[in-house]
Amino acid sequence: MASNAPVGKPTDMSSPRLPKVAGIDSTVPAPPHTMAPLPGVPSAAPPSDAALPPGVLIQDRLASWVSDLTTLHELTERLIKTDSLDGALREMLGAGAALVGARRGMAVLEPADGLGPTSTIGLGLAHADLGTIETVPRGSGSYGRLLDGLPEADPPGAGLPDADPPGAGLPGNGPTAPRRPARVPEPIAIRDVRTEEGLDPRHREVAARLGYAASYALPLATEEAGRLGAAVWLYDEPAEPDERRRHLIGLYGRFATEHLARLLQVERARARVATVTEELLPSRLPRVPGVRLAVRHLTGPQGGGDWYDALPLPEGALGLAVGSVSGTGPSALAAMGRLRASLRAYAVMEGEDPVAVLSDLELLLRLTEPARSATALFAYAEPAQRRIVLAGAGHAPPLVVGDHRTEFVETSLSAPLGMLTCWEAPSVELSPAPGETVLLYTDGLLRRTGDATDRAFARLHAAASSVPRTDRSDPGAVADHVLRTLLPGGLDPAVEGEDVVLLAARFE
């Protein structure tokens, strides 16, 4: 059968060769249809299946099936290891190019529900090339036709109903009618852009400019997941995948779509957690004479309970706070919001005494959430006098950065909130010099380095000491330099862990 014929070799392309994949020969000879046979040399006809013994034919077919299964297994194994939408799209493009025999391509992520995220990824195409392709009218481009045609619902009254009638499924109203899943269109193959009927002239112009002559577009959609996007692979010569290759890329495309659907759900969940976290924190920092503030907040993939606050107090004073609630996820976020709101109330009532503020917070946490612990640091600042009184509960000490010193504030050790039998840590007072910056941070900044505690503290001190003098007048620049030095790659989204908060206050 044609569908069981061995996979042919891909069309020749001008870009670098792809690595070999089991079941797919990555060598690229000149396409047979682009070269005329030599005169006087008879062409050798391949042996027909009828001339082969039955046993050999069956063995060839079994070997072909095993090769296909091995190829799909290896490609899907590589795809399932990706943990981001961008990485999955790039892996899918590369694997699809090997399956259909192309060298270049693009993938468009455009979920049908309109909730995003949307993106366009290229294989062997520069950013400018992708922009040029997007100038083709959407109705003429193959990927645009796929995106606009998915999902396609049945018209009312045709086949199975799209939705249950009122009262369906209630007692006495009969069983719930099954829903018809979204229909998935067929892939679109353009064998020759120059001769294909119905193409927009701009499409032919772009193809000539970028040097491709044919394309094969596959919908990234299934009946269960609906439309997620489309992928297009480009050929340098007129060509199209045979039935065998179409079957393989169809199987791989359905698996890739389901994997993308799972990653899409994870990405949206992370975005919602990040939004909730930002809503629970101050939308802007206050402006208080004598001090300049800046904050950097990096959220982990699951959303931790790290928080910060800066609130103006009577008589020109300023309350600064950072803290961390144990746990991750929605419950930690909710606890963080309650703790921060309570601390603001206590700071307004008795902010001049940071020990009293944290003592009230300790009692509240012990009574309302006995199974949870938290760390916190609260500082009562008088910018006009450059005076700070602070107290901490299980929290790392602040760091003072200036032209003549970079040193940690000596604070008394204390257990975290929720773990105290009595308050044993008194407050400390410091007087920053004009131009010095006080850094308040959460433990996540230290733990994200991956070093032991003493080593992490040493690295933080070295990072603060190396802030260029030209940047020390800007608290935001100081915070950025420290973060770049300690976490040059930012927060790894694949690593679970605490958020990072860095609050900088520069005293004039």
Give the model confidence (pLDDT) of 317-336 as tens digits: 999 999 998 887 778 888 88
pLDDT recorded at residue 423: 56
- Per-residue pLDDT of 61-101, as tens digits, reads 787 788 888 989 999 999 999 989 999 999 999 999 999 99
Distance between CA atoms of residues 75 and 256, nearest Å: 10
pLDDT at residue number 425: 67
| pLDDT tens digits, one per residue of 138-158 | 888 888 888 886 544 343 333
| pLDDT for position 49 | 54
CA distances from 457 to 229, 358, 452, 462, 492 (A): 47, 24, 9, 9, 21
Count of CB atoms situated within 10 Å of the CB of 54: 8
- CA 72 to CA 46: how far, in whole Å? 28
Considering all CA atoms of the chain, what is the largest pairwise distance in Å, rounded to the nearest integer? 103
Q: Under CATH, to which class is 281-507 assigned?
A: alpha beta
**Location of each CATH 3.60.40.10 domain in the chain:** 281-507
Look at residue 54 in the predicted model and tell me its pLDDT. Answer: 67
What is the reported pLDDT for 21? 45
- Which of 471, 506, 465 is closest to 486 using CA atoms? 465
* 3-state SS class at 395: coil
CATH 3.30.450.40 residue ranges for the chain = 2-27+61-160+176-271
Q: Report the distance separating Cα 451 and Cα 84, nearest Å.
A: 26
2-27+61-160+176-271 adopts what CATH topology? Beta-Lactamase (3.30.450)
What is the residue whose two structure tokens read 């862990």?
A: 497
User: 286 by DSSP, 3-state: which?
Assistant: coil
> What does the DSSP assignment read for 75-94?
HHHHHHT--SHHHHHHHHHH
Tokens representing residue 269 in the block: 């969940």
Strands in 116-224 per DSSP E: 119-123, 188-190, 214-222
Which helix (H) or strand (E) segment is 482 a member of? helix 475-486
Contact at 8 Å (CB) between 473 and 435? yes
What averages of pLDDT result for each successive group of 10 residues across the chain (508 residues)?
A: 43 44 43 40 46 70 83 93 93 95 95 91 94 90 81 39 42 46 80 91 94 95 89 95 93 95 90 80 91 90 82 94 86 87 93 91 87 91 95 92 93 78 75 96 90 94 95 95 91 66 96
pLDDT for the residue 420: 65
CA angle 367, 372, 373 (to 5 degrees): 100
For residue 142, the model assigns a pLDDT of 87
Q: pTM higher than 0.75, yes or no?
A: no
